[in-house]
Structure 1
């Protein structure tokens, strides 16, 4: 059993006298009672203390889950939520660069991540993008076009804080016919498993950015395998390829259907990871014509889902908040007045105690909107990349390579 010894000087002895052992504290006790309460960053440093610490912190799935649950239990509504939840920026021009967005009081800065999963082969045309995230695991899509124009896809599971990666091949039997997918990653508590859902958005292009799904596959991290599942619930639904968001055991995407009238009917498609069933929810509050339906998106802000979209009137921006799981199916519309040149924006996270929403805005910038007084301010951040993807994820020690759940 590993021990961490606390030593003190014997009273009445000279400064040069020997130190005596006051007590021996089993390393297991420190791990079980104290260490799992800490964020991931200091835990990574403590791996060098002793073999027991290193083994437990690096490879014990039960410790990783315990640490994650404690992190999740800490309120994310304070201005210090970046201690446990992070905004990651993925550089669009240099796919090997990624950054954490740091926040101290009201000052934002970026910190480079030194564990990029990408090993670029300059000889091959390639494309990389972040397509999903959950509990500290980030999924990076790699698309490579060969000499004859065929496209091959693969997914990399990546924990940015530990640097671990895992490559997963494309399950599609027709990888050369389509490269349009949307993804979602979530945790299924019923099977103690992380599931990556891939919706094949089909071969027929309806509009720019909008496609009709015709196949669905799910990858089980615990079983390390793909399997095909029930396809999209309606052939009349057209889905945006924005990533699905995970909330309350389900993944959610926005989509729309069109009848013979000029109107579009917007919906949220919810996919329950436990039952692997789809549910449709109408968004009746959206009753106007969009220049591009891709601009309708969905995000988790606080403990609620929020559908967001730009209005065609005066550059205003709408945030529709709802709680899908209180049986009310009601939406609260919050109209955000954005700068005229920033109407194409994506909300990232909500600081409830100060009533602020962090936005990624068009033009490769970040901004903060105050819900109370309707003011918007740009964030002047040193060395911010010109283009980037932004995604929220929680710190964790979850390993994409060794995760087998904590159940027998």
Structure 2
């Protein structure tokens, strides 16, 4: 009878009765390369193999970063959506799809993520995501992190903030007062928030910040209507910089987001029937117009809720429409000028 045993760094093969075992030594570096290519659900199971595997998978930040990078280079993607049911219950759903075939979203099997009820009001919800973690805001004063891979929720320390009208909670904390905007950051593993330099007072912003490569970015306005600049906060340096928006005339509707690990702007002029998608490749002079999308005449909505994903060849675009409080996936083929629902 042939038996196979495995130990950390060593593989023993052989016939237990007739031949001596053949010992194959596998360098631990090679084992790391193998493990970092496995899905999270298998890594969680392999923590019990031995202490060194458990330490590697659970506590090694370099391994975590390497695994995250490896997973981000595959064609397999997951989209996470949040939907309110009768303004009482927030559902968090994950949709797997193939980034090389965007229409795979139509046949994917979505999974409703199982987590403890953490949302208390329809005003609360998902405000940011980074490196596979989701950040929710509760009651405008408490933030929680949710890891959908391991189904764990971590409450961040509560904020000792005065309850003033207009105060808002973001991925890091931004509290708006009449004359200034305070910013606080939290480092995982600590039990408090730390105040850093205030947000530049000459700008106004509406939405939460967009996290890209260690920075948090806000699309700002000089007043209630005039588009200003992108204010970017570098979390490591705790410093701000201003990034000019694309020089393309009078924007009517503009949204800041992330695409391909870069900042992007979805913009539309008052006189246009197209939405332009601009991508910024690392410096303020590098804005490139990626594609222009028509404003689709569809029965359930005339404006898409969000541009979710653009294929690497820029030929297909995955969009979300809202239909009777439900989300509807749509794929637009830029070459064929074809809309798939």
Q: Does TM, scored on the shorter chain, surpass 0.5?
A: yes
Q: Contact (CA 8 Å) 1:36, 1:70: kept in 2 or not?
A: yes
Match of 1:345 among 305, 323, 327: 305
In structure 2, list runs of 5 or more residues that go unmatched: 1-6
1:107 aligns with 2:70: no
Q: Contact (CA 8 Å) 2:157, 2:192: kept in 1 or not?
A: no
CA distance, structure 1, for counterparts of residue 166 and residue 19 of structure 2: 67
* CA displacement 1:238-271 (0-9 Å, x = unmatched): 2012x32222432211121139xxx723321111
What SS does structure 2 have at the residue aligned with 1:268? Answer: strand
Write out aligned runs for 1:77-92 (5 A): 80-82=75-77, 86-92=78-84
What SS does structure 1 have at the residue aligned with 2:237? Answer: coil
Query: Which one scores higher on RCO, CA 8 angstroms, separation ≥ 6?
Result: 1
CA distance, structure 1, for counterparts of residue 242 and residue 318 of structure 2: 28
Question: What RMSD in Å do the two structures reach over aligned CA positions?
Answer: 3.3
CA distance, structure 2, for counterparts of residue 280 and residue 60 of structure 1: 35
Alignment partner, residue 355 of structure 1: 315
Cα displacement (A) at 1:302:
2.0
Task: Provide closer, same or farther for how the CA distance between residues 338 and 375 of structure 1 changes in structure 2, counting only shifts above 3 A.
Answer: farther
Write out aligned runs for 1:20-59 (5 A): 21-23=21-23, 25=25, 28=28, 31-50=31-50, 52-59=52-59
Cα displacement (A) at 1:52:
4.4
* CA displacement 1:44-77 (0-9 Å, x = unmatched): 34335455434432344343233224334x2x6x
Match of 1:254 among 205, 219, 230: 219
1:198 aligns with 2:156: no
Q: Contact (CA 8 Å) 1:318, 1:333: kept in 2 or not?
A: yes
Write out aligned runs for 1:390-401 (5 A): none
Alignment partner, residue 339 of structure 2: 376
CA distance, structure 2, for counterparts of residue 278 and residue 30 of structure 1: 41
Task: Provide closer, same or farther for how the CA distance between residues 371 and 321 of structure 1 changes in structure 2, counting only shifts above 3 A.
Answer: farther
Cα displacement (A) at 1:125:
5.2
Alignment partner, residue 317 of structure 1: 275
Task: Provide closer, same or farther for how the CA distance between residues 134 and 19 of structure 1 changes in structure 2, counting only shifts above 3 A.
Answer: farther
CA distance, structure 2, for counterparts of residue 213 and residue 81 of structure 1: 43
1:7 aligns with 2:13: yes
CA distance, structure 1, for counterparts of residue 165 and residue 15 of structure 2: 71
CA distance, structure 2, for counterparts of residue 4 and residue 252 of structure 1: 48
Match of 1:268 among 204, 207, 230: 230
Task: Provide closer, same or farther for how the CA distance between residues 139 and 7 of structure 1 changes in structure 2, counting only shifts above 3 A.
Answer: same
Cα displacement (A) at 1:19:
8.8
Task: Provide closer, same or farther for how the CA distance between residues 43 and 213 of structure 1 changes in structure 2, counting only shifts above 3 A.
Answer: farther
* CA displacement 1:91-143 (0-9 Å, x = unmatched): 322645322111144321243244424356xxx65653111111122111111
CA distance, structure 2, for counterparts of residue 225 and residue 18 of structure 1: 64
Match of 1:297 among 255, 259, 266: 255
Cα displacement (A) at 1:334:
3.4
CA distance, structure 2, for counterparts of residue 57 and residue 135 of structure 1: 16
* CA displacement 1:156-190 (0-9 Å, x = unmatched): 1121101232211343521x224642524xxxxxx
Q: Contact (CA 8 Å) 1:343, 1:362: kept in 2 or not?
A: no
Q: Contact (CA 8 Å) 1:306, 1:320: kept in 2 or not?
A: yes
CA distance, structure 1, for counterparts of residue 338 and residue 81 of structure 2: 24
CA distance, structure 2, for counterparts of residue 306 and residue 125 of structure 1: 30
Deviates more, 1:351-360 or 1:133-142: 351-360
What SS does structure 2 have at the residue aligned with 1:68? Answer: helix
Give TM-score, length-normalised by structure 1: 0.67
Deviates more, 1:92-101 or 1:22-31: 22-31
CA distance, structure 2, for counterparts of residue 328 and residue 285 of structure 1: 10
Match of 1:239 among 201, 205, 220: 205
Alignment partner, residue 250 of structure 2: 288
Q: Contact (CA 8 Å) 2:182, 2:198: kept in 1 or not?
A: yes
CA distance, structure 2, for counterparts of residue 370 and residue 172 of structure 1: 50
Q: Contact (CA 8 Å) 1:299, 1:347: kept in 2 or not?
A: no
